[in-house]
């Protein structure tokens, strides 16, 4: 039975601001109002779906399997439809550049959403107050002099299956992903995305905290425990054996737009940034620990069939901002790696797992093994590969879905401990 999302909503894409992307957020048990498990640690994962023209969307069975496993490991999980898939507008591009920007748009949303999401602050250690100005790095995250900011920092796990794995591989390193959102122009798609994340997180803080407070004042019922809220979709109330989910969607999109407009007016009134036409940087952000999970990435000729612009993956280096380029070059020198592009370099420098079947009809197992061996052999590589016996591209063979889930679970458990 598919898991019901906690939030359903749309965001624009920074690629053209015209495309509207259909998105979902799934909250882990740590964010349930009646939750008594581990505290909310801001670990988050994004799962990108297969090729839209062939029917790929966020309802894909493998995407749903990965989502369920990551949720079980305490990750907040986000899924979205690339342009042209499901309810997202636009059409699939020939170059994958638009889809990369779609992914970047949603990744930034999830990053800022998790930063603002704090419904039960008493569960956590003290954090930097919102009114304290701290030095910010290129991607807008806080830097503390003389302190390792990555230890115990939240994990941001970027995942993809099939075409979604290819797009994940093509993403630039974190500084270039988050740079457009640090101080975006007020009327831009980047500003809209950041403000939507803040608005929805603040609403969830109020809703979840109020439900928990109400439950603490009411004797618990063994048959009825509130576990989450959902914005978007049809108005309904769904019951299961041990919980109730409340759903509301009256003019949801319009309410989000009004909330974003209110936040924008407040930002302008404070005039915290020297360029008043831009949003100020958000102080006190946590630097994420990046990780990547690639399931059946279409390496080799399969990639060429899906995109005409594979230069960024295997050859020509894409243009980055001067600061982002210098950051990438520095990381390469420090790790001693000799990977040709920053896109591949990020898979070597950060915890990365690729999962593939030895019976994939689109990519031969030799292609997978050779590609994985090349990345694993780089000095200091943190890249690993897991081969699923008898699995094809769709993981429909007996027992392969379970073996895929087990591999995802083990990797997620390593990241979250």
Q: How far apart are CA 113 and CA 193, in angstroms?
A: 10
pLDDT at 42: 93
Q: Which residues contact 120 (CB under 8 A, 6 or more apart)?
A: 39, 40, 208, 209, 212
pLDDT at 35: 62
Higher per-residue confidence, 381 vs 311: 381
Output the 3-class SS for 294-344.
EECCCCCHHHHHHCCCCHHHHCCCCCCCHHHHHHHHHHHHHHCCCCCCHHH
Q: Taking Cα atoms as reference points, which of 64, 92, 67 lies closest to residue 77?
A: 67
Report angle CA 283, 255, 239 to the nearest 5 degrees. Answer: 100
pLDDT at 247: 35
> Tell me, which fold does domain 7-218+252-416 have in CATH?
Rossmann fold (3.40.50)
**268-291: average pLDDT:** 78
76-130 per-position pLDDT tens digit? 999 999 999 999 999 988 888 999 999 999 999 999 999 999 988 766 543 333 3
- Are 91 and 8 in contact by the 8 Å Cβ rule? The answer is no
Provide the β-strand partners of residue 156: 44, 290
Q: Which residues contact 244 (CB under 8 A, 6 or more apart)?
A: 224, 225, 226, 227, 237, 238
Number of separate helices (H) and strands (E) present in the chain = 12, 11
Q: Is the pLDDT of residue 226 over 70?
A: no
Name the residue with tokens 């992903």: 177
pLDDT at 37: 61
19-62 per-position pLDDT tens digit? 899 999 999 999 987 766 678 899 999 999 999 999 999 999 99
Residues of the chain with pLDDT > 90: what percent? 56
- Are 92 and 51 in contact by the 8 Å Cβ rule? The answer is yes
64-79-82-347 Cα dihedral, nearest 10 degrees: -90
- Are 154 and 289 in contact by the 8 Å Cβ rule? The answer is yes
pLDDT at 92: 87
Q: Is the pLDDT of residue 229 over 60?
A: no
pLDDT at 135: 33
- Show the tokens assigned to 51: 């090729």
CA 80 to chain CA centroid, nearest Å = 9
Q: How far apart are CA 223 and CA 237, in angstroms?
A: 15
> How does residue 328 score in pLDDT terms, banded at 50, 70 and 90?
very low
């Amino acid at each position: 039975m598919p898991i019901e999302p906690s939030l359903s909503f749309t965001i624009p894409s920074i690629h053209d601001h015209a495309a509207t992307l259909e998105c979902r957020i799934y909250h882990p048990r740590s964010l349930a109002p009646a939750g008594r498990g581990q505290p909310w640690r801001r670990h988050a994962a994004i799962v990108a779906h297969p090729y839209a023209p062939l029917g790929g969307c966020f309802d894909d069975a493998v995407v749903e399997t990965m989502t369920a496993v990551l949720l079980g490991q305490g990750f907040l999980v986000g899924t979205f439809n690339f342009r042209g898939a499901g309810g997202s507008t636009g059409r699939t591009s020939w170059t994958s550049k638009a889809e990369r920007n779609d992914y970047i748009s949603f990744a930034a949303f999830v990053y800022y959403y998790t930063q603002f999401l704090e419904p039960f602050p008493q569960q956590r250690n003290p954090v930097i107050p919102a009114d304290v100005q701290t030095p910010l790095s290129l991607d807008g995250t806080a830097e503390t002099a003389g302190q390792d900011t990555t230890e115990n920092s939240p994990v941001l796990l970027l995942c993809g299956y099939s075409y979604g794995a290819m797009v994940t591989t093509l993403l630039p390193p974190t500084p270039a992903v988050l740079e457009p959102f640090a101080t975006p122009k007020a009327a831009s798609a980047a500003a809209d995305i950041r403000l939507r994340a803040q608005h929805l997180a603040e609403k969830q803080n109020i809703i979840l905290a109020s439900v928990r407070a109400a439950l603490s004042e009411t004797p618990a019922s063994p048959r009825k425990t509130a576990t989450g809220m959902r914005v978007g979709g049809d108005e309904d109330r769904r019951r299961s054996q041990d919980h109730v989910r409340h759903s509301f969607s009256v003019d949801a999109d319009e309410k989000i737009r009004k909330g974003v407009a209110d936040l924008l007016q407040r930002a302008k009134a404070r005039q915290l940034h020297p360029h008043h036409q831009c949003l100020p940087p958000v102080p006190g952000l946590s630097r994420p620990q990046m990780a990547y999970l690639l399931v059946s990435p279409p390496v080799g000729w399969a990639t060429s069939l899906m995109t005409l612009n594979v230069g960024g993956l295997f050859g020509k280096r894409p243009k980055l901002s001067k600061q982002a380029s210098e950051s990438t070059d520095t990381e390469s020198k420090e790790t001693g790696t000799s990977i040709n592009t920053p896109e591949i370099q990020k898979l070597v420098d950060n915890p990365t797992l690729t999962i593939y079947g030895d019976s994939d009809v689109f990519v031969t197992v030799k292609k997978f093994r050779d590609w994985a061996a090349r990345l694993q052999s780089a000095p200091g590589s943190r890249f690993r590969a897991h081969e699923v016996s008898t699995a094809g591209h769709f993981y429909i063979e007996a027992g392969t879905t379970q073996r895929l889930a087990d591999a995802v679970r083990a990797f997620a458990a390593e990241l979250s401990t």
